[in-house]
Amino acid sequence: MNKTAFIFPGQGAQYVGMGKDFYDNFQIARETFETASEVLNLDLKKMCFEGPENQLMLTENTQPAILTVSTAILNVLKKEFDLSCDLTAGLSLGEYTALVNSEIISFEEAVKVVKNRGKFMQNAVPEGKGKMAALIGGNRIDVERLCYDHKQYGIIQPANFNCPGQIVIGGEVAPIEKAVKNASDYNIKRAIELPVSAPFHTEMLKPAAEKLSKELEKITVRTGLYPVISNVTGEVYDDNSNIKDYLVKQVYSSVLWEDSINAMISQGVDTFIEIGPGKSLSGFVKKINRNLNILNVQDLKSLNKSFVKLGVAS
């Protein structure tokens, strides 16, 4: 049975100018930006379209900005073009957009939570204390062995299982630097340190998770329209009552993106539409399984291209 999944990007996908095409051409997109700006008391439109880039790159701004752009595009696809999905997921921050897509969490509540989530994550680890690195070409066993062997130098753990041959690790500076240096001894072709402000999805982020827990207590979780995949388990949320717990755990746990995509494929998904800035998720999905329809919508050009592939009149 052919099914469609909507997937949403996380932090790192942002760029100045994102979402402008949709804002300029669709009333529902303008309303989405206005709602976010009102809730946050922040001119999100100006930040997304004009920058400055260093302001947009601050985690506490990046997270609500990406959520807003992704939701604005999503609203256009749903309300103007009547597109819908069978399952939904998002990478890290993108999981909040997936929950908004399923109407489990309202957009207004989500945008407020992720603004604070970004702030808590940014402040959890003092600058210069943590690092992340992308490992290219190794498998899970190789990466887990690398992390285990370098634990003697400090905290180090897998942070993102993105796709075959691309796993991100995070932790304290000393073990990450040593692991990058020694990666080739573990069948890893390349190890690249990443320009991020904190070691996301590691136990170093537990202080941020504790603060986030208090923010999540304030929001209402509703019955969803579509199944949502959890980053923490790589499986569909089987019970809405554990969504808040998993969103807290997500901050300091590995993101099981490859597992999430495979879970959707096993449920009959053959078309993945990445909605929001960038197209890194499309690349990951392609590496997980090349025999899928993979589309991305981030501007009018990609919207039209995707509609041609879907056979939808734009």
pTM: 0.96
Query: Could you say which of 70, 150, 201, 282 is catalytic?
Result: 201
Share of the chain above pLDDT 90, in %: 92
Whole-number Å distance between alpha carbons of 277 and 287: 19
- Give the torsion sign (CA, 243, 139, 4, 81): positive
- Give the torsion sign (CA, 217, 219, 225, 228): negative
Torsion angle of alpha carbons 219, 239, 233, 73, nearest 10°?
-50
Contacts of 123 (CB under 8 A, 6+ apart): 208
The question of whether 150 is a catalytic residue gets the answer no
Using alpha carbons, list the distances in angstroms from residue 257 to 12, 72, 162, 264.
Answer: 15, 23, 5, 11
Maximum Cα–Cα distance across the chain: 58
- Give the torsion sign (CA, 4, 273, 88, 106): negative
Q: Write out pLDDT tens, residues 237-265.
A: 988 889 999 999 999 999 999 999 999 99
Query: Could you say which of 92, 102, 260, 282 is catalytic?
Result: 92
- Give the torsion sign (CA, 273, 277, 283, 288): negative
pLDDT at 309: 78
Confidence of residue 268 (pLDDT cuts 50, 70, 90): very high
Count of C-beta atoms within a 10 Å radius of residue 140: 12
Report the phi/psi class of residue 268: left, alpha or beta, with left for phi > 0 and alpha for psi in -120 to 50.
left
Residues comprising the chain, all counted: 314
Q: Are 80 and 28 in contact (CB under 8 A)?
A: yes
DSSP codes joined into one string, 192-228: EE---SS-TTSGGGHHHHHHHHHHHTTSPP---SS-B
pLDDT at 238: 87
Share of the chain above pLDDT 70, in %: 99
Two tokens, residue 173: 């500076």
Confidence of residue 198 (pLDDT cuts 50, 70, 90): confident
Q: Write out pLDDT tens, residues 272-297.
A: 999 999 999 999 999 999 999 999 99
Q: What is the DSSP letter of 255?
A: B
Mean pLDDT computed over 175-202: 95
Give the domains, in start order, of the chain with CATH numbers: 3-124+204-310 (3.40.366.10), 130-196 (3.30.70.250)
Two tokens, residue 169: 């690790």
The question of whether 254 is a catalytic residue gets the answer no
